[in-house]
Amino acid sequence: MQRILNNPDDIVDEMLEGFLKTHSDMVESTENPRVVKAKNIPEGKVGVITGGGSGHKPAFIGYVGKNMCDAAAVGEICSSPTAAAFLDACKVVSQDKGVACLYGNYSGDNMNVKMAVKMAKKAGITVKTVVANDDVASAPKDQREKRRGVAGEIFMWKAGGAKAALGGSLDEVIAAAQKAIDNTRSVGIGLTPCTLPAVGHPNFEIKEGTMEVGIGHHGEPGIEVCELETASQMAKRMVDIVLPDYPFTEGDEVAVLVSGLGATPVMELYVLYNEIEKLLGEKGIHIYKSYVGNYFTSLDMMGATLTVMKLDDELKELIDLPVYTMGMKQI
Amino acid sequence: MQRILNNPDDIVDEMLEGFLKTHSDMVESTENPRVVKAKNIPEGKVGVITGGGSGHKPAFIGYVGKNMCDAAAVGEICSSPTAAAFLDACKVVSQDKGVACLYGNYSGDNMNVKMAVKMAKKAGITVKTVVANDDVASAPKDQREKRRGVAGEIFMWKAGGAKAALGGSLDEVIAAAQKAIDNTRSVGIGLTPCTLPAVGHPNFEIKEGTMEVGIGHHGEPGIEVCELETASQMAKRMVDIVLPDYPFTEGDEVAVLVSGLGATPVMELYVLYNEIEKLLGEKGIHIYKSYVGNYFTSLDMMGATLTVMKLDDELKELIDLPVYTMGMKQI
């Protein structure tokens, strides 16, 4: 395992220390060492929080900052933050308009958010939630409630965060975030497994010369293992999984996000995006805005995800709003 | 080789296509397909260009944009752009104040920039150059002219680009970029080799359980191969190489950049930065601004580089100026 580590058990603490030092212009620590909050949260706005396991950087703390999330609860590697961390995240951002908790559909997160919401209610804080479930490969279309949240969460945070920044009410923020995720579909292709630092070797296998279509960010099995394909073939495979599921159709305007899984060089993500853009163009689907880079990763996994969100005027306005976080900056 | 590719010979063309589509708000193509220029270059400014081989993304085209470089010449993977590309980059940014060409110390780049400068002169364009040589491990201290340019180039572009944006003359831009690189020292540690897509296997080796200190971005041999160390030990080793070389001393204010080499998860870069920050603090060196992420990479190599620049009031002002490129954004 060729990694930059001290004691693997300390990696989350040490990463957080380094992150807070580097980004002291946008984030700060809180009394709970597993909660990071934005600096200078505007007065009177709906609080927007998220949270999740570590190892997916920039997610989740990398999306805390101006016009996006106000705080994030931090879990151990690939494991949910505690209910207490979600609760404390709510507390540090709670003003008088309530809190929107926008998170991904994983059993641990579901359980802990549910508990946090109950505890927050007792403490007089109204928390409403949106659960991301954009990963098409993780369950059939008629069981969307079973699907995992993946890189589509970024669009959910962008839309919800922007709505809150624009002065939206809690219900408006929740509606915007819900619309964003309802309009969004993702799929991933894994080319190598990832290694949990504390384990020291991959706990699943992707054989050289093969790839796993529909893999999850924690190595959850995909829908097919096949021979490694060209970028063009991979793009077609991803587009053919994502587009019919919503469905996206001719004339649609979309936002597209191509994220690396951590160890794939960014150069290759541009090659993949180039193919995706051509395929969408052939179908008459117009890319209004695109994002290519390491936006939602899985430790040192090689591979990429494709996320497509259908836009309307409201979502365009929310996506266009300037944002300043470690993971996404736009003016 | 688990990579996202079509024909490896087309990777630079296809990457450029994808890059230009994604970042059409900040960059545009030119008549020379190996030259990328910034959109909306302000009138009357000194042109700032750079260039280099591909495979180091965000370098070099990722630093083209508002308040940084105005154009970049693009080479094949790990190989210099042609003299014609450097010349064309000069031409597309040339106004009446001349052009600053800020590039890294590699034999191919030196030769081609030299030819381009001559050809530009014939075409009536004044081009002055600064050559980055921040890689401490690549030659002894008394032979700085032999040292390679690595991630310190980013500070050179930031300072030179800012000076030009603020209305500086060609000589002032050159002086600012030269001061930035003169005040900057870097070192890298490689944990895995990288693979040229067209070759399909690494052309050098770093054995599991070892690391190569002082490795170059193209796999140039380092100064020592040793057992893989902890993040804390790696940080000490890097700091002990970089600090005495300038030298940096108690009371100095510095900018620090920790870049991944491509495949190391960003989480680990924060762990490394955390250790570096502690070591600098112990020495009374104050970090005024820090950058942690994949800023200057080497295809799919694992590992990281440390870059430290000593600041004065002028460099602080230049580093602080807002910038908007794919590789660096600050408000």
Let me know: does B26 contact B32? Beta carbons within 8 Å: no
Residue A5 lies in a domain: no
Residue A1 has pLDDT above 90, yes or no: no
pLDDT in tens, A8-49: 999 999 999 999 999 999 999 999 999 999 999 999 999 999
Rounded mean pLDDT, B248-274: 97
Q: Do residue A262 and residue B265 have CB atoms under 8 angstroms apart? A: yes
**In terms of domains, do A116 and A152 share one?**
yes
Does residue A201 share a domain with residue A101? no
The answer as to whether B254 is a domain residue is yes
B240 with B118, same domain: the answer is no
Tokens (6 digits) for B183 = 């005040």
For residue B154, is pLDDT > 90? Answer: yes
Query: Looking at residue A279, which CATH number applies to its domain?
Result: 3.30.1180.20
CA-nearest of B163, B199, B149, B189 to B3 is B199
As given in the structure block, the two tokens for residue B26 are 């900040």
Q: A247 and A287 share a domain?
A: yes
End-to-end CA distance of chain A: give it in Å, rounded.
39
Q: How far is CA B99 from the centre of its chain?
A: 19
In a domain, B133, yes or no: yes
Written as one string, the DSSP assignment of B124-145 is: T--EEEEEE--BGGGS-GGGGG
Residues of A in contact with B6 (CB under 8 A): 230-232, 271, 275
Q: Do B3 and A191 touch (CB under 8 A)?
A: yes
Last residue of a domain, one of A182, A205, A222: A182
Q: Is A331 a domain residue?
A: no
| Sheet strand arrangement including B99-104 | B27-29, B35-38, B71-77, B47-54, B99-104, B127-132
Judgement on whether residues B137 and B273 belong to the same structural domain of the protein: no
Of A155, A182, A209, which residue is a domain's last? A182
Q: Name the residues of B annotated as catalytic.
A: 56, 218
In a domain, A322, yes or no: no
Contact B264 A3 (CB under 8 A): yes
Question: B32 in a domain, yes or no?
Answer: yes
Query: From the candidates A78, A256, A261, A271, which should be mutated to test the interface with B, based on the most B CB atoms within 10 A?
Result: A271
**B167 and B227 share a domain?**
no
Domain end among A150, A182, A214: A182
A217 in active site: no
**What's the whole-number mean pLDDT along residues B209-219?**
94
Do A109 and A18 fall within a single domain? yes
List CB contacts (< 8 A) between B17 and chain A.
Answer: 270, 274
Pair A166, A222 in one domain: no
Q: Please check whether residue B38 is in contact with residue B70, taking contact to mean a CB–CB distance below 8 angstroms.
A: yes
Number of domains in chain B: 2
For A15, which of B208, B267, B287 is closest by C-beta distance? B267
* B135, B278: one domain: no
* Edge-to-edge strand ranges of the sheet holding B253-260: B224-227, B210-213, B184-190, B303-310, B253-260, B286-293
Residues of A in contact with B267 (CB under 8 A): 11, 15, 54-55, 57, 299
Within-domain flag for A4 = no
pLDDT bin (cut points 50, 70, 90) of residue B85 is very high
pLDDT digits (tens, 9 = 90+) for B216-250: 999 899 999 999 999 999 999 999 999 999 999 99
Q: Are B128 and B231 in a shared domain?
A: no
pLDDT tens digit string along A243-265?
Answer: 999 999 999 999 999 999 999 99
* Domain-embedded: residue A316: no
Whether A69 contacts A161, CB under 8 Å: yes
Pair of tokens at residue B219? 């796999």
ipTM for this model = 0.97
Residue A248: give the domain boundaries.
Answer: 184-311
CB contact under 8 A, B4 and A55: no
Name the pairing type of β-strands B323-324 and B329-330. antiparallel
> Tens digit of pLDDT for each residue in A57-110?
999 999 999 999 999 999 999 999 999 999 999 999 999 999 999 999 999 999
CB contact under 8 A, A4 and B304: yes
For the segment B62-87, the average pLDDT, to the nearest whole number, is 97
Q: Are residues B20 and B152 in the same domain?
A: yes
CATH of the domain at A67: 3.40.50.10440
Sheet of A253-260: strands edge to edge? A224-227, A210-213, A184-190, A303-310, A253-260, A286-293
Averaged confidence pLDDT in chain A: 97
- A190 in the same domain as A136: no
Question: What is the reported pLDDT for A275?
Answer: 98
Tell me the CB-side half-sphere exposure of residue B203, using CA atoms within 13 A: 13
